[in-house]
Structure 1
Amino acid sequence: MVVTIKDVAKKANVAPSTVSRVIANSPRISEKTKKRVRKIMDELGYHPNVNARSLANQTTQAIGLIMPSSANKSFQNPFFPEVMRGISSYAHIKDYSLYMNTGETEQEIFEGVVKMVQGKRVDGIVVLYSRMNDLVIQYLIEQQFPFVLIGKPHHSSEEITYIDNDNYMAGREVTEYLISLGHEHIAFIGGSPDLMVTKERLAGFREAIKLANLRLPDEYVFYMDFLREGGQLAVERLMSYEQPPTAIVVTDDLMAMGVLSTLSEKGYHVPDDVSVVSFNNVIFSEIACPPLTSVDVRIFQLGYEAVKSLIEKIEMPEQSSRNIVVPYKIIKRQSCKQMNDDQLCL
């Protein structure tokens, strides 16, 4: 026998309209009543008809997710499955489904977003990256469509709700850590230069180098894809220099895995010959050889806070934009070491 909304209302001793408002999480209903009605829904095994509710409310009950590149490329990096785990965790609580958009090029990604918005396929969008002069962000602002950004906006930050770490300070702090270990020749391997996360971490890195009165050759800064191959290619070049670095800041753990494997292949030992620090603290950081010193950016929390903020914007359109800074923590492991006297004399 199918349980109806009237069955729930009868047992809860409320009107069917009250049950409907509880399902929609209306602020007009007290938390005490919501809790009681939801308990009865669970006891009776009642499941709201999402499609009918969406038609009645003129909503889709769906969230769009915009990846920075193709799914094949993005999902090679553990950052994205983990951030999506945070997103889906809160979306599930609020009964929202997820609609993912990817593309091989920036233009394809943009066209997919336009279809999402114009086709009314989603109620709001989470953009899982922040890029300089991004067509997607400009379009969403123009359309006044609800969206939240994971990352610091390139512009119009007062108009955008965004979730991020303090990547400038994180970049500066890990570099100062290496400097405190006696390193003077420190290289930087980042992602694409148009990504705000690269820009912010590099700015912090440069500031630490400057404050320590160290020299930073232009060839010590690399921009690569956030893939294992990106780290491998950068190390091939770095270790061929007359003065190779004694330490490397890598802005992504997957890239760092490529750094570690290539250093090993070339006969360098980490951390005896080269120290390595990285970002994200994904699961394989602690089982790498050696275990990676990495900045824990709390990826799950970034996703959770992003979709939570988006659903609040959807349900309360008048809410002003805000930014949430998720704290980071440097997890020190065995990939960094104090410079010895022989190395300091080089």
Structure 2
Amino acid sequence: MTVTIKDVAKLANVAPSTVSRVIADSPRISEETKQKVKRAMEQLGYHPNINARNLVSKSTQTIGLVMPSSKDVGFQNPFFPTVLQGISEGAQEKYYALHMTTGKSEKEILDAVIQMVEGRRVDGVVLLTSRVRDQVSSYLRKRKFPFVLIGKPYQDIEEITHVDNDNIRAMKEATEYLLHLGHRHIAFIGGTRELMVTLDRLDGYEKALQEAGILVKPEYIVHEEFLREGGQEAVRELMALDEPPTALVVADDFMALGVLNTLDELGIQVPQDLSIVSFNNVLLAEMSRPPLTSVDINIFELGYQATKNLILMIENDKEPVKRLIISHRLVERSSCAKYN
């Protein structure tokens, strides 16, 4: 037997129109009433007919997700599953579905986004990375299509809603942590320079050294992919220098895992011979040997707030442009020691 809105209304002791407003997440309905109706829906096994609602509202009730273009990167790095959890929870709260797209090149991704937008497959888009001179964000802006960026825009920062960390400050604090331990030969391992997060974290690293009166050495700055292999290649290059660093700031935990693997092969002990501060604080940072001191950037919250604010834009075209900065904190573990 099919469960209807009337059945839900009867069990919750409200009018059928109230049930409809709860499904639409109307702000005019109190939270207490919403919870009562949701409990009745769950008890009866009632699921809203989203397709029927969408035909009336001319909405797809779907959010598009644009993954990075590098082959397999988005599915290897633990950052992306975690941020997707936040995006998914924000979408589920408002009964939105998710439509994901990726590609082997920037052109493939742009073509896929154009198909999503022109084919009216989604109501808005979340961009999971911020790139220098990004064609996708430029296209979405020209189309005046709702989108939210996770990261800092390369340009027109006041005109694009984005959710980000203060990456300059976070990396500056991470570098200062090593400076306070007495290290003066600190190297930077970051991702590609095409990503805004890399540029911001490099800026924070350089600021910390400059304020400490330490010369920034170009040979101490290495850029690779945000992958374990990237960390392996970077640290081999650094440890082969005539004057190798005594400490590293690594812009990603997954890269840092590769760093640890290679240091073990080279017979270099962490933290006795080399200290490491990493970024993101995903589970592998705690499980690595030794456990990594890492900057927690609240990845889940980045995704959740991106979806929440995109839906506000979808449902209200007067929603103002926002810059949302998510907090960070340094989680101390066993990968750092005072310089001897």
TM bucket, shorter chain:
over 0.9
Counterpart residue type for residue 106 of structure 1: E
State the SS of the aligned residue for 1:271.
coil
Q: Secondary structure at the match of 1:174?
A: helix
SS of the aligned residue for 2:189 comes to strand
Determine the structure 1 residue equivalent to 2:198.
198
Are the equivalent residues in 1 in contact too, given 2:175–2:249 (CA < 8 A)? yes
Which residue of structure 2 lines up, in the alignment, with residue 259 of structure 1? 259
What's the Cα RMSD here?
1.7
SS at match of 1:284: helix
Cα distance in structure 1, aligned partners of 2:161 and 2:94: 19
Q: Is the 8 A contact 2:73 2:226 kept in 1?
A: no
Number of paired residues? 340
Q: Determine whether 1:145 maps to 2:164.
A: no
Residue 22 (structure 2) pairs with residue 42 (structure 1):
no
Q: Report what 2:158 is aligned to.
A: 158
Structure 2 residue 317 is matched with structure 1 residue 322: no
Q: Distance in 2 between matches of 1:255 and 1:200?
A: 17
Within a 5 Å distance, the mapping from 1:206-217 to structure 2 comes to 206-217=206-217
User: CA separation of 1:266/1:34 partners in 2, compared to 1, >3 Å: closer, same or farther?
Assistant: closer
Distance 1:10 1:237 in 2: 70
Q: Which residue of 2 aligns with 1:310?
A: 310
Partner of 2:335: 335
Q: Deviations over 1:75-106 (max 9, x none)?
A: 11000001101111221222111111100111
Q: Which residue of 1 aligns with 2:114?
A: 114
Shift of 1:10: 5.3
Q: Residues 42-95 of structure 1, C-alpha deviation per residue, up to 9 Å, x if partnerless?
A: 343321111111111111111111111256221110000011011112212221
Mapped to 1, the partners of 2:160 and 2:279 lie a distance apart of 25
Specify the SS of the correspondent of 1:277: strand
Q: Distance in 1 between matches of 2:246 and 2:19?
A: 65
Alignment correspondent of 1:183: 183
Pair 1:58-2:58 in alignment: yes
Paired residue for 1:343? none
Alignment CA distance shift 1:35-1:266 (3 Å): closer
Tell me which residue corresponds to 2:228.
Answer: 228
Q: How many angstroms does 1:275 deviate by? A: 0.8
Q: Distance in 2 between matches of 1:14 and 1:236?
A: 67
| Separation of aligned partners in 2, 1:70 and 1:15 | 52
Unaligned runs of 5+ in 1: 341-346
For the structure 1 residues 70 and 192, does the alpha-carbon distance in structure 2 shift closer, same or farther, using more than 3 Å as the test? closer
- Whole-Å separation in 2 of the counterparts to 1:292 and 1:34: 43
Partner Cα distance (1:312, 1:175) in 2: 37
Change in Cα spacing, 1:54 to 1:291, as seen in structure 2 (3 Å) is: same
2:305 partner amino acid:
E
Q: Distance in 2 between matches of 1:267 and 1:45?
A: 59
Quote the residue 1:270 is aligned against.
270
Structure 1 residue 18 displacement after superposition: 4.1
Counting only pairs closer than 5 Å after superposition, residues 161-176 of structure 1 correspond to structure 2 as 161-176=161-176
2:64 counterpart letter in structure 1: G
Q: TM-score, normalised by structure 1?
A: 0.94
Q: 1:246 to 1:12 in 2, by over 3 A?
A: closer
Deviations 1:227-265, CA, capped at 9 Å, x for gaps: 001011111111111111111111000100111111111
Shift of 1:329: 0.6
Q: 1:272-311 residue pairs with structure 2 within 5 A?
A: 272-311=272-311
d(CA) in 2 for partners of 1:43 and 1:276? Answer: 51
Confirm or deny: 8 A CA contact 2:86 2:301 kept in the other structure.
yes
Find out whether 1:127 has 2:127 as its counterpart.
Answer: yes
- Equivalent position amino acid for 1:244 in 2: P
The aligned residue for residue 87 of structure 1 is 87
Contact 2:54–2:61, Cα closer than 8 Å, also in 1: yes
